[in-house]
Each structure stands twice: as C-alpha cells, then as structure tokens.
Amino acid sequence: MQTITLGRSGLNVSRICFGTWQIGGDWGSFDEDAAIGAIRQARELGVTFFDTAQAYGFGASEELLGKALRPDLERDRDSVVIATKGGIDPGSDRPRKATREYLRSGVEQSLRHLGVDHIDLYQVHWPDEQTPAEETASALQELVDEGKIRHAGVSNYDSAQLAAFDRTRPVETLQPPYHLLRRDIETDPLPYARENDIGVLVYSSLGSGLLTGALTADSTFEESDWRSQSSAFQGENFRRNLAVVDELKEFAAGKNASVSQIAIAWTLAKPGIHVAIVGARRARNIADSVAAADVQLTADDIAEIERITAAGVPVTGASPEGIA
C-alpha cells in the first residue's frame, strides 16, 4: 500500500482511507459482522487510515470502527490513524453547530464511542456560518493542547472559509466531495489547499456507488438509504450517468482493471489530492478498491477518462439540511 504525508499535518497515511458512512445507518441495512470483516481486511491489505463521524448513526459508526480495530489499537495504537468529524446535529433546528461547547462535547463522545484516549485527526464536518471561524478554530486548538486530538481539519469548506479558519490556527486537512461526476472543487477550494499545503482526503470517490459498475437502471434503494431520495439516482440523470459508466467499463477492461479501480486511480492521479476515501460493507469490495492505488494511468488515459465522463450529469449529495 502506498503511503503519503497528508500535507502540513505531517501524518503519514495510506493513500486509500477506509470510510465508514455506509455503516452508520444512512445507506440502508447491513450486516455488522461483514462490515467488521471489511475493516479488518482493509488492515490486512495495508490500509492505515480510517475516517468516520459523530453524525454517522450518532456514534454507531464510530463504535463499530473501534470494535473492528480493537486488536490493532491494543497492540499498537500508532499503527492506525483515526479521523472523525463533528460539529453537526442532523435533524435539529440548527444542523450546523461548530461552537466551542458543541465541538468539545462531540470530541468527548467520539473518544468514548471509539474507545481511544486521543483522536488523530478531528474535522469540522460542515461550515457553520453562525459561529465565528475564530471560535471554531480556537476550540480545536484547545483540544489539541489538551491532547484529546492530535490534528485539526475541516470538511466541505470553500477557500474563503479555509482562509478565515487559517487566521486563527492552520487548517491541516480538508475533506471535500470529489469524483469523476463531481469536480467543482477543482475551481474552489483545491487551488487554495494546494497553495497552502493542506492535506486533501476526498470522499465519495466512487460517486456513492454510481462509479462502481454495480448499479443498473432497475436498481432501487431501501427507504433508509439516502440515495432513495437523491435526484442523482433517479430518472434521466441516473440513466445518462449509467451510460457513461458502461463506457468506462470498456476502458477499464482494456487496462485489466475494474471501473471502480479506474475511478479511484483517476482521483489519486489528480494534483493536490492526497487520499481517496472509499467505503465497503464486505471484504471483497475493499480488496478491489485497495488495488486501485497500484493502477497506473498515463496522461492519455486520464484524457480519455475525462472525455468519456464529459457526457455525464454533474451530481451533488447529502448535506445537514437534506438531499439534493
């Protein structure tokens, strides 16, 4: 497994990060034992970086990750890098809540759920325009000073929000959405992150399943799966993007790779992207994703991939306020 220094955080991590949104209850039902098996398979394959969030099942995802990693945590805590996120309260009157009090409470809860004495990377899940950036940033610095978190980052911020945070303490990492059908960060905030050596770990590398090749026009989703309410997984938009994926499959076959591996490899090849977050609920799926880190794409390959996906429909995703 390739590793990389995550920007100015200095953290050395695997280029594939195991993400756990899919085991928090927002993606329909799943088998807990199989999910634990997927996490442990990722470790066996060399993954050292794991990302979760307080909001994924209100701690359920963190607890499951802690349970799966317990043997590693007890044997050598520093062998894994655990990232989590806080600062949102989905379903409440104020879903974005990056106040000092709420962040501190969230860190304490996450420590308990994960069963650890410190969090390697704590990220503000979504920007909160109602809370001054200096309050959010200084609150995280206090938690660093206390040893409860080691590094501080943000998720879903734009460049202006990054700069506002930076004025109080450095933003060490950024976690934005990014994949072949969602490339808006290339305009903002990726250039700011590159200029300031901010470590970038991107989520939804597989387009929330769109880029796996496993979906068809007849695919349906459980009511508890957020995709059942998303315009990206319904109607003409869905059909157009599936046609793009079919063409990508042909390209991938010529590279002796899966379409998932091509999507992830493309992400990792883009300047300024340090890490791709991928999720899995079964061991066989994470094995395919991990292998993507070794897929080599030429400049001509990347140009062809982008020609194919230019016919796709740009997609969005879920936010604390709802689903587009």
CA separation for the pair 154, 310 (Å, rounded): 29
pLDDT digits 0-9 by tens, 299-317: 999 999 999 999 999 998 8
* Closest to 153 (Cα-Cα) out of 320, 2, 11: 11
Please identify every stretch of the chain with a pLDDT value under 70, giving residue numbers as ranges.
Answer: 25-29, 324
DSSP annotation of 218 reads: T
- Strand-strand pairing, 16-19 and 81-86: unpaired
CA separation for the pair 31, 270 (Å, rounded): 34
* Closest to 242 (Cα-Cα) out of 319, 321, 185, 311: 311
Res 117: pLDDT: 96
Where would I find the H helices in the chain? 32-44, 60-75, 100-114, 133-145, 159-166, 190-195, 235-254, 259-269, 283-291, 299-309
Q: Which entry of 56, 122, 157, 192 is annotated as an active-site residue? A: 56
pLDDT digits 0-9 by tens, 107-130: 999 999 999 999 999 999 999 999
Is 192 one of the annotated active-site residues of the chain?
Answer: no
